[in-house]
Amino acid sequence: MPARLILALVLLLLLAVHLPAASTVFTLPNGLETIVFPRPDVPLVSIQFSIRHGYIYANDPLDEGIAHFYEHMLFKANSLTKTQQEFMRRLNEIGAAGWNGTTGSEAVTYYLTVPATEAERALELWSAVLIDTVFDPPEIRREISVVSNEIEGNRRDPGRAFWRLVNAALYGQDQMYRTGHYETAHMGRFDRALLQREQARWYTPDNCMLSLSGAIDEREALQLVSKHFSRWKRGTPRPVTRPLQFKPRTDRSRNLVLGGFTNPGMLRVLLLWPGPSVLSNRNETLTADVLSYYLSEKSGGFLASLTTNTALFSTDTAGFTFSTGRYTSEFMFQGEIPATNIPGLLARASLLQNTVRQALARIAEGKARISPESIRRIASRIINDRIFRHEKPPALLQDVSWWWCTADLAYWQHYDRGIATVTPRALQRLARDWLAKPPLPVLWAHDSLRAALEQQGGPNP
Amino acid sequence: MKTAIRTVQIFALVGVLFLGNLSAAAQEAREPSWVCLTLPNGIVAWHRQLPAARTISIRVCVPSASGLNPAAPANDRLLFSLMETAGEEYPRARLDRIRDEGALDISGTSGLIFSSLSVSAIADRGEEAAMILSSLLYKPARDRQIFSELRTRAVNELHWRDGNAWSALDPHLQLAVHGKTVDGAFYGLSDSALATTQLEDVLDHHRKILAFEGTFLVSCGPQSAAGMAAVLARSFTRPTLRPSPRPLARAPFPAATNAVHVFPHEAASSAWAKGIFAAPRPGSEGYAAFVLTSRIWSEMLMDSVRSRNGLVYSVWASSPSREQHASAEFVLYRCQDIQRALDLAAESLRKLREGIAVLPGPESPARSIADVLPATRNQILASIALQNITPAERTSSFASWLLASGDPKAFDRLPDAIRAVSPEDIRKTAQRFYDRMHWGVTLSPKAVTNFCGLRWNP
């Protein structure tokens, strides 16, 4: 059947299926998935490209940081704009607001918002950026300098330095090249050939999703995306990506005490565990989300019991989180205790950590049952949070983009329904399978407290 | 061509509501403007109806803040922090339960010239949002334990900020340029105002500011102006009686020096530099040209300092913020070679004054301000639209512009003012404002000796 006829039928189908508040998803023959959220009340079109790439996808220690560097190189020369200067000029001409790229552990995204009248020129520019990237050697050398400034600054940032050490303790030094805390030592070898290899592996339509929201309807989106992205060729088979391996711990693991610049009046107490990943058990990741919401409720029993029975300073600065990952996920508890009465500080930190673990053990053993009503409340909370957040088209696209990279569109589309089907027994199983294991205990102290803590607990493991 | 289509429904629970909103929005290209409502008790309220909005934002702005009360600058900060945490009728546990539902968000902030308390809610809970807001405003909690916790957290935030080389640069730079820090600003741990403020001080202060006649409400959501007026009148019943404090006087900006002040800081990682210079007040004549000039110069800086020479991670010239309108900034963020970056910045500024907006490249000629102005206009207009989509963003922008300019139409006029700016306006703005630059650089102490001779000489 001629392509035009099929396209016309497709458009008729779109018109016929006029669903309220609907998003429309279409997939080009080359595998490029596109999701459109029309918002005729906003005079702009927000566009986001998501690539399943990021730090964890580095296959070799020599490739550390390549995902981030590649992201930088896209803001340069391509078939439409011959230099970075021209690229910037083109972005200005289309009135691009709020544009940038981000590289995370498992996701790379590029986003911009343009006046609705410039949607086509924006898509045309980004098709050139993604498909016809030119890796000009002098530009590569200059960008190595720019990225080095960024990374060296990050490395000296007290907060980032802390998380680098925590990551090293969780995964070991030999896996650090696959985290966001990388060294710049190997950047000197980044060249055109390496970038082209990355392009062939990861920057392909079947490894990318395009999302749009604003004053654009399904028909226009389909027409523009087909026009500018149909020529993009499918990729070659990609290397297998492995999860990060957690270093094993025992119940006798001592606290990792980290100093540096932090608040001298408080000691931050953390516990970290590995968690289920989307590829290993996607249903369990939904259960983990419900559990982390439940344990972070300000009016809930978990935080209240910690303020009653331990020196936890405030429920506003304490919480339990689960960071869903495609390959690697983590649970984390964080809370603060006042850094007074130094001789007993380590004991108070340990009391908080033990009380958290005991509360989790009670859930795991079925002694503290989480009611179906609590789960319904959390499901409703998640919907409300989304209503607030998704009033802003770029935030909506950021969420859908992140979930696509971490899981897929089906996960995102059925997320609310999935959350609502979590059962008390599933929560108990999750706590038993993951949170009954020994966590990594960490104390984050001001430098002035570190020596005293080490004296109380022995040198760092 | 085979195109796989599947249509999916998201937000099933609110879909019908949204369909109605979409249809209304499609027809409503003419968005209603801000409407001034005066409540029976005399409080002025501004409302903007956004038919497609799914949330509502109600904000009460009180003309009391640290800059207006330098003798006791911590009162407002702690009071508005207390108000967002708990009230007499809404104890912390009750507010926590409301927050855990996720249907309402409550936030209290206090800056230099005003303080505000706001509630955002799912649209059909507007009445409840207004009730909570008025209750927290009129009847704050008298809970010593909560107050003590909030005060400790506020002091901790100061510790954090002071330990950060980037934010610690501000007071040093203000001292070097003006001979004093900004009145009412919390700088450094030497400021003991926070740590010594007591609950009684804050509650006394609350009694005084409660009756300020300059207090006003701003709301935005799908409700009509008449409907909103009725909702607000039911909740905000106390009269305003007392004259508000006078607005802050603007200090003249000191004459230029070419000196670059170097401030070593233990926590400094890579070098950061910041220049401050005079700027027009938001809403005043020349402000739109200033915004465009900042944007054009930022593009020049990104091009010459970062793209062509790779010297910094980021570089930009900012427009003055809506509240702190004394000065604007030029920032080199994570810089490798400060003197060279400063020289390149000075060179780009000289060119801008001559009417050049893009420096010539190996394969491209120079471009004039007239060449780039239409695109820059589009970009700024898109940015303004992007930053004013949600009801909460709208009430925030409107309130801060009203306070900074005194003119309720100032913000709505900004797009037209931007469209009216000419290339000559840009050139004149560059000549008028950018010649009085004062510089601060923060570095790790070990690197200081290498940078003592830094100069800025545009």
- Alpha-carbon distance A139 to nearest alpha carbon in chain B (angstroms): 8
SS3 B312: strand
The residue with greater pLDDT, B454 or A277, is: A277
> Quick one: average pLDDT of B308-337?
70
Confidence of residue A94 (pLDDT cuts 50, 70, 90): very high
pTM: 0.88
Question: Which residues on neighbouring strands pair with residue A114, listed in sequence order?
Answer: A45
Q: What is the mean pLDDT of residues A425-431?
A: 97
Q: How high is the pLDDT of residue A15? A: 36
Instruction: Name which of B79, B65, B210, B73 is nearest B147 in CA terms.
Output: B79
Asked if B93's CB is within 8 angstroms of A226's CB, the reply is: no
Q: Look at B270 and A153 and tell me if their CB atoms are within 8 Å.
A: yes
pLDDT, residue A450, reads 81
- B96 and A314: CB-CB below 8 Å? no
With 70 as the cut, is the pLDDT of residue A179 above it? yes
CA of B248, closest CA in chain A: separation in Å? 33
Residues in chain A closer than 8 A to B164 (CB atoms): 261
pLDDT band at B23 (very low <50, low <70, confident <90, very high): very low
Report ipTM for this prediction: 0.87
pLDDT of residue B132 exceeding 50? yes
| Alpha helices by DSSP H, B140-286 | 144-163, 165-178, 193-196, 199-209, 225-235
Residue of B nearest to A116 (CA): B382
Contact A21, B54 (CB under 8 A): no
Q: For B351-375, what is the mean pLDDT?
A: 89
Q: How confident is the model at residue A258 (pLDDT cuts 50, 70, 90)?
A: confident
The predicted pLDDT at position B451 comes to: 63
d(CA A327, CA A275): 10
Nearest CB partner across the interface for A95, out of B96, B164, B379 = B379
Q: A98 in contact with B at a CB cutoff of 8 Å? A: yes
For residues A209 and A26, the answer to whether their CB atoms sit within 8 Å is: no
**B355, pLDDT greater than 60:** yes
Instruction: Please tell me the distance from the alpha carbon of residue B115 to that of residue B61, in angstroms, as a whole number.
Output: 6
Q: Please say if the pLDDT value at position A332 is more than 80.
A: yes
- The predicted model gives A123-138 an average pLDDT of 95
Provide the pLDDT confidence category of residue B310 given band limits of 50, 70 and 90. confident
Residue in B11, B21, B10, B14 with CA at minimum distance from that of residue B391: B21
How far is Cα A165 from Cα A157, in angstroms, rounded to an integer? Answer: 12
A316 contacts in B (CB within 8 Å)? 85, 153
Q: Inform me whether the pLDDT recorded for A300 exceeds 60.
A: yes
Q: Can you give the pLDDT at residue B6? A: 34
Lowest-pLDDT range, A340-354, B232-246, B268-282? B268-282
Q: What is the pLDDT of residue B17?
A: 27
- Residue range A443-460: mean pLDDT, rounded: 79
**Sign of the CA dihedral with A222 first, then A224, A226, and A232 last:** negative
Q: What is the mean pLDDT of residues B154-178?
A: 79
- Min CA distance, A37 vs chain B (Å)? 10
Q: In angstroms, what separates the C-alpha of A128 from chain B's closest C-alpha?
A: 19
Cα–Cα distance between B229 and B40 in angstroms, integer? 10
- Minimum-distance CB partner of A92 among B16, B299, B390: B299
pLDDT at A336 over 50: yes
Residue A12 scores a pLDDT above 80: no
Percent of chain A with pLDDT over 90: 71
Mean pLDDT of chain B, nearest integer: 82
Using a CB-CB cut-off of 8 Å, the residues of chain A touching B372 are: 89, 92
* Predicted confidence (pLDDT) at residue B328 exceeds the cutoff of 90: no
Interface test with B, best of A13, A81, A263, A308 (most B CBs within 10 A): A263
For A:425-454, CB contacts with B below 8 A are none
> What is the helix, strand, coil percentage profile of chain B, to 5?
45, 20, 35
Angle between helices B74-85 and B199-209 (to 10 degrees): 90
pLDDT tens figures, A369-388: 899 999 999 999 999 999 99
Residue B183 CA to residue B249 CA, distance in Å, equals 11
Helices (H), A74-215: 84-93, 119-131, 137-156, 158-171, 192-202
Per-residue pLDDT for A19 more than 60?
A: no
Mean pLDDT within B277-285: 84
Out of A41, A146, A390, name the one closest to residue B25 (CB): A41
CA dihedral A162, A163, A167, A173 (to 10 degrees): -50
Inspect the interface and report whether the beta carbons of A7 and B1 lie closer than 8 Å: yes
Give me the sign of the Cα torsion angle B59, B62, B63, B66. negative
Cross-strand bridge partners of residue B44: B38, B216
Q: Name chain A contacts of B11, Cβ cutoff 8 Å.
A: 21, 383, 386-387, 390
Name chain A contacts of B53, Cβ cutoff 8 Å: 391
- The yes-or-no verdict on residue B32 having pLDDT over 90 is no
Share of chain B above pLDDT 70, in %: 82
Count of A-B CB contacts under 8 Å: 249
The two tokens of residue A193 are: 């050939």
Of B219, B252, B265, B188, nearest in space to B34 by CA: B219
Instruction: Please say if the pLDDT value at position A111 is more than 70.
Output: yes
Beta bridge partners of A267: A337
A261, B268, B314, B440, B443 from B447: Cα distances, Å: 19, 10, 20, 15, 6
Question: Which residue of A27, A33, A146, A302 to mutate against B (max B Cβ within 10 Å)?
Answer: A146
Predicted confidence at residue A210, as pLDDT, reads: 98
In chain B, the percentage of residues whose pLDDT exceeds 90 is: 46
> Is a pLDDT exceeding 50 seen at residue B43?
yes
Q: Do A6 and B120 touch (CB under 8 A)?
A: no
Q: What is the pLDDT, as a whole number, of residue A21? A: 46
Per-residue pLDDT at B326:
54
- Asked if A224 and A212 touch (Cβ cutoff 8 Å), the reply is no
Closest CA to A143 of B263, B54, B306: B306
Output the average pLDDT for chain A. 89
Nearest-CA residue of chain B relative to A76?
B307
Residues of B in contact with A209 (CB under 8 A): none
Contact B34/B397 with Cβ under 8 angstroms? no
Q: What pLDDT shows up at residue B256? A: 67
In the prediction, which pLDDT does A261 show?
64
Confidence of residue B21 (pLDDT cuts 50, 70, 90): very low
pLDDT at position A10 is: 45
DSSP string covering A286-324? HHHHHHHHHHH-TTSHHHHHHHHHS----GGG-EEEEE-
Torsion (CA) A391, A394, A395, A399 in degrees, nearest 10: 120
**Residues in Cβ contact with B198 at an 8 Å cutoff, skipping those fewer than 6 apart:** none
Token pair of B427 as six digits: 């050139």
Sort out which chain B residues have CB atoms less than 8 A from A190's CB and list them: none
Buried b (16+ CB within 10 A) or exposed e, B231-246: bbbebbeeebeeebbe
Task: Measure CB to CB from residue B303 to each of A23, A85, A226 and give the nearest one.
Answer: A85
Residue B61: closest CA among B319, B396, B408:
B396
Q: Residue B391: which pLDDT band, with cuts at 50, 70 and 90?
A: very high
Residues making up chain A, counted from first to last: 461
If you average pLDDT over each of A81-90, A253-262, B266-275, B314-323, which comes out highest? A81-90
- pLDDT recorded at residue B12: 26
Across the interface, of B10, B267, B336, the residue whose CB is closest to A149 is: B336
Grade residue B307 by pLDDT with cuts at 50, 70 and 90: confident
Separation between Cα atoms, residue B386 and residue B388, nearest integer Å: 6
CB contact under 8 A, A393 and B99: no
The residue behind tokens 């950021």 is: A398
Do the chains contact at A92 and B379, CB–CB below 8 Å? yes
Q: What is the pLDDT of residue B305?
A: 86
Does the distance separating the beta carbons of B105 and A388 come in below 8 Å?
A: yes
CB contact under 8 A, B153 and A314: yes
The arithmetic mean of pLDDT across residues B390-419, rounded, is 93
Residue type, B450: N
Residue type, B7: T
- Taking the alpha carbons at both ends of chain A, their separation in whole angstroms is 68
Task: Spell out which residues of chain B touch residue A338, defining contact as CB-CB under 8 Å.
Answer: 152
Q: How far from each other are the two terminal CA atoms of chain B, in whole angstroms?
A: 59
